[in-house]
Amino acid sequence: MKRFECLQTIAPLIKDELFVTTAGGATAEWNAVHPSDGNIQVKTLGLCSSIGLGLAIALPKRKVFVFDGDGALWMNLGSLATIGLHQPKNLIHICWDNQQYESSGGEPTVATAENIDFAGVARNAGIKSSQTATSVNELKDAVGLALKNDGPHFIWARIEAGRAEAPPLRYDELENKYRFIRYVEETEGVNILRVPPPASYLLK
């Protein structure tokens, strides 16, 4: 299955969930399929699962998706243990495994040799809802199940290599961050970014 087809299949299931997307091809493709200020890009390889965990802990009533890659998850495999420890019910972690560092030119990852079972690693780290999807329908069912039930959820999406024609992101990381936080403020009814009043306002 191709990642882009999977993303197109997931998009109609989405309401106001938040998305933390890896430093890789999934980010541009997801923003092409589902443009939203509820999407935040990640620039540090591997850190999307940890950022998603922090977001899920901060907003326990909001579903948070993490789009990871096989190379990125390899770099921060310990994050599965940390998610297994904290058990965030609202976290849905999908690893798009194309068995290569696609954004770096296609070098092999840990997944290339097919020795590793990412879903098994996640399950044994304490993420009980750990599923494997090898077809678009299996993936749609897995995401549907994850949206209906408490997590944490992990989905190992075994995809073909190859990137769809998706335009680059319109926003750099700073604009993306501000828009994301404003979106969280509006949809959660909270105030996150406060600008202190100028000192002159304090004069009587």
Partner 1 sequence: MGTVAGAQQILSGLKEAGIDLVSSVPDINMLQLINLLYQDKEITHVPVGREEEGIGVCTGAHLGGKKAAMLMQNGGLLNSCNGLTTTALQFGIPVLLLIYYAGDIGDNAFHMVGLVTEPVLQGLGIKYIVMRDPAKVKQDIAGAVTLATSSKRPVALLLTRAVL
Nearer to partner 1, 20 or 139 (CB): 20
CB of 89 to partner 1, least distance (A): 15
Residue among 113, 174, 199, 202 that touches partner 1 (CB under 8 A): 174
- Strands 153-158, 129-133: pairing is parallel
Q: How many residues does the chain have?
A: 204
Residue among 13, 16, 43, 186 that touches partner 1 (CB under 8 A): 43
- Strands 64-69, 91-97: pairing is parallel
DSSP E strand boundaries for the chain? 18-21, 39-41, 64-69, 91-97, 129-133, 153-158
51 is a site residue for partner 1 (CB under 8 A): yes
Residue among 49, 98, 130, 132 that touches partner 1 (CB under 8 A): 49
DSSP letter assigned to residue 199 = G
96-135 footprint of partner 1 as x/- string (CB under 8 A): ----------------------------------------
Q: Residue 156 contacts by C-beta under 8 Å, 6 or more apart in sequence?
A: 95, 97, 117, 118, 119, 122, 130, 131, 132, 133
DSSP E strand boundaries for 79-174? 91-97, 129-133, 153-158
Rounded Cα–Cα distance for residues 104 and 131 (Å) = 27
57 is a site residue for partner 1 (CB under 8 A): yes
Neighbours of 2 (CB within 10 A): 16
36 is a site residue for partner 1 (CB under 8 A): no
58-97 footprint of partner 1 as x/- string (CB under 8 A): xx--x-------------x-xx-xx--xx-----------
For residues 42 and 51, the answer to whether their CB atoms sit within 8 Å is: yes
Binding segment for partner 1 among 24-32, 37-45, 112-120, 128-136 (CB under 8 A)? 37-45
54 is a site residue for partner 1 (CB under 8 A): yes
Q: Tell which residue, 157, 158, 87, 97, has the closest CA to residue 128.
A: 87
Rounded Cα–Cα distance for residues 164 and 32 (Å) = 10
199 is a site residue for partner 1 (CB under 8 A): no
Nearer to partner 1, 55 or 133 (CB): 55
Which residues here bind partner 1, judged by CB under 8 A?
20, 40, 42-44, 47-59, 62, 76, 78-79, 81-82, 85-86, 173-174, 177, 180-181, 184-185, 188, 190, 192, 194, 196
